[in-house]
Amino acid sequence: ETGVTQTPRHLVMGMTNKKSLKCEQHLGHNAMYWYKQSAKKPLELMFVYNFKEQTENNSVPSRFSPECPNSSHLFLHLHTLQPEDSALYLCASRSTGLGANVLTFGAGSRLTVL
């Protein structure tokens, strides 16, 4: 357990479904991230939140909608996804203190879109 908890661990959804991924961190960090991990591709940054404010949106399609109600929780709302969106979605957090560089990742949510 890294201190970053993601639920659900596995999710199968149809293209017309609406579902959400949840991330919770117990580390007192102020920055939270969503990454997409696809087979044979590098980790792709999707969104960044600092102190609940979105600071980066890496040209992610609008069918992915993030929400950060507080510094400890991060959601990724999914709607009208495509089969190519099937991937492992990783949440990470980081302290924003001086010199803090290390991202702490959760175990990921494995998403399959049928």
Partner 1 sequence: GESVGLHLPTLSVQEGDNSIINCAYSNSASDYFIWYKQESGKGPQFIIDIRSNMDKRQGQRVTVLLNKTVKHLSLQIAATQPGDSAVYFCAERYSGAGSYQLTFGKGTKLSVIP
User: How far apart are CB 1 and partner 1 at their closest, in Å?
Assistant: 10
Nearer to partner 1, 2 or 7 (CB): 2
Q: Least distance in Å: CB of 68 to partner 1? A: 16
Residue with Cβ nearer partner 1 (40 or 53): 40
Residues found near partner 1 in the complex (CB under 8 A): 2, 4, 6, 31, 40-43, 45, 48, 56, 90, 92, 94, 101-108
Sheet with 4-7: strands ordered across: 4-7, 18-25, 73-79, 64-70
Whole-angstrom CA distances from 50 to 3, 73, 95, 108 are: 18, 12, 10, 20
Q: Tell me which residue of 76, 93, 78, 80 sits closest to 26, measured CA to CA.
A: 93
CB contact at 8 A, 8 and 106: no
- Nearest-approach distance from CB 27 to partner 1, in angstroms: 12
Q: Of 66 and 108, which has the nearer Cβ to partner 1?
A: 108
